[in-house]
Structure 1
């Protein structure tokens, strides 16, 4: 199995197009054509992780966080990033990162936190906008159903929990084939009128190339009239954070004890406790202070995240509890999620959960 084949499987779970613009995801180091001897899954790629990969004969590291985040002008080993890159290249070890592509996935980082905490019916806290496109084309009525079905099979027409979504309306199309045309219908030099349908369906941009290739292959006309439009609609199944409910509401102190136990943390930094039962829980793995207001607006009783600064705790305003359990701690189960996914998709292949400790923060 090649590196490219493995990364294709990973991108079925978390397409790189779903990552945030600031991020650096995908294959960061390595030749995609190389054969994979083993896969090591980690949260961060540090020197000890490279050593572990070498010891376990793994030449592909799947790392949640990207080791290369900003541009490198030189690689001399002067800092931990350069040393990791050098050691990986010297030992022919590839590194692939998913980061916010997985953060934004409804089955990713935040879904795993909800699973661990027993949060029911989770939904996206901050749905993404501008990530839905619409295709409109015009097709003879005789070929409408064939084209519609082909586009569905290519990935078009999915809206939330529904598939095969489209709209069509009949009308009259006209065209005059030019001298060099090879018309399927009509004659050169004569204006032709055809009973056509205007067919529209939305799609995830991830499938655009496949959808357009299917359109051109299946449509009967030599020249296909079509339109692509970027929509500002909210995608309810893609975005940052999640929010759901507890089956049995508990008071604030009880929930904090439960949170410490389930997330295996010794310290929870939190805002002032509120005098109400904790029922609605919002989570966002990693640095999530930017979503405090979204959690409040969604009616969360507690918001679990990391990297909250001093003044940001004031934003709780006694409307919810802000609980900072640590960056590593919120994302600690992500590598388990990826190992499970890879084992299901490529069974009988060497996929290993990293045992290296990569949390840079220690508690005394």
Structure 2
């Protein structure tokens, strides 16, 4: 038996909720995580038609990229499609979970999916986030340091890019005087003590602070653990908006547009004029990404693939980059495939379904 909350826990290992934007509403929007999951329907958007599809396919959990409830609902009487969709889900005991900007911001998330579809190499975050890393410094007897570090690594500390189990230590002398109420592991009450100790430091994602500190206190031998925490300004190279990478070889701009149209299943591409004969470095951002244009230009990208560009924003290319607006739905629809592939590796014997409903509200007359 697999509970809905267990599916959610696995999803949040891929895209921690802490990485969503402040305006976002990712997470479990409708339903309870405490009931058994009969099946999971994966979709970009949640609509009444998607709820009907979930009922037909016996899926009581819908995992979507876009939250059906983005702003607070003051009433629930079915006056618009959001309220009708939520009501239909509640009436049929269907839970709705959304993984939105948090999935945008992680490696192997939305933007990695686009980059992989385009065959890009050396993919990296286009605009890494700052102020989401912390540093733990602690002091321990030399003989205990490695076992403590091992436990902290298991708790998620000490990862830097492609490197894990990262830390730094220096050796010195720790001093303390246990009072009469103390229960010292080393030394005696009322007697000054000197111990050969390590000062150890390691970085961790700030949202893991509770888990990391609790682990330190659990495995440290001392009755009173000496440690301190610092918030860091460092960029987290694994978390942020957009992605950038390179094609295996430079190709003609028109050939890239054909590649883009084919791989993303596009009917049309809105783009600015070509600025160089061949292109190779490509920046991408699923959904509305005009805010990342300075980052795309700064990365040296030849092309910026995104969506929801306004007329006057196309002028901002300034003949330095090709902006390609491929449409919001088109840039993110393959997110459901990403989630399917991820979950199928975690729940190989569980019913996972790709939604067959085209939720794109935009139509093209060609």
> Is TM-score (shorter-chain normalized) higher than 0.5?
yes
Contact in 2 for aligned 1:38/1:60 (Cα 8 Å): yes
Aligned to 1:294: 295
Where does structure 1 lack aligned partners over 5 or more consecutive residues? none
* 1:63-82 to 2 correspondences below 5 Å: 63-82=64-83
Give, in whole Å, the separation in 1 of the partners of 2:64 and 2:251.
Answer: 36
Aligned to 1:228: 229
* 1:178-197 to 2 correspondences below 5 Å: 178-197=179-198
Contact in 2 for aligned 1:167/1:200 (Cα 8 Å): yes
Aligned to 1:11: 12
Contact in 2 for aligned 1:132/1:233 (Cα 8 Å): yes
Q: CA deviation at 1:198?
A: 0.8
Q: CA deviation at 1:75?
A: 1.1
Where does structure 2 lack aligned partners over 5 or more consecutive residues? none
The answer on 1:313 being equivalent to 2:296 is no
Give, in whole Å, the separation in 1 of the partners of 2:214 and 2:300.
Answer: 44
Contact in 2 for aligned 1:241/1:283 (Cα 8 Å): yes
Q: CA deviation at 1:206?
A: 4.1
Give, in whole Å, the separation in 1 of the partners of 2:285 and 2:275.
Answer: 20
Give, in whole Å, the separation in 2 of the partners of 1:239 and 1:14.
Answer: 12
Give, in whole Å, the separation in 2 of the partners of 1:74 and 1:172.
Answer: 64
Aligned to 1:356: 357
Give, in whole Å, the separation in 1 of the partners of 2:117 and 2:221.
Answer: 52
Indicate the larger mover: 172-181 or 301-310. 172-181
- Across the aligned residues of Structure 1 and Structure 2, the Cα RMSD in angstroms comes to 1.2
The answer on 1:123 being equivalent to 2:124 is yes
Contact in 2 for aligned 1:119/1:245 (Cα 8 Å): yes
Tell me the TM-score normalised to structure 1 length: 0.97
Aligned to 2:96: 95
SS of the residue corresponding to residue 12 of structure 2 reads helix
Aligned to 1:136: 137
Aligned to 1:338: 339
Tell me the TM-score normalised to structure 2 length: 0.96
Contact in 2 for aligned 1:45/1:67 (Cα 8 Å): yes
| Per-residue CA distance 1:292-324 (angstroms, 9 max, x = gap) | 111011111110000111111111010110000
| Per-residue CA distance 1:22-72 (angstroms, 9 max, x = gap) | 211111111111111110000000110001001111100001111111111
Give, in whole Å, the separation in 2 of the partners of 1:70 and 1:161.
Answer: 37
| Per-residue CA distance 1:166-202 (angstroms, 9 max, x = gap) | 1111122222223322221222233322221111100
Contact in 2 for aligned 1:2/1:35 (Cα 8 Å): yes
Give, in whole Å, the separation in 2 of the partners of 1:207 and 1:279.
Answer: 38
Give, in whole Å, the separation in 1 of the partners of 2:276 and 2:33.
Answer: 55
Q: CA deviation at 1:338?
A: 0.6
Q: 4+ residue stretches of structure 1 with deviation over 4 A? A: none
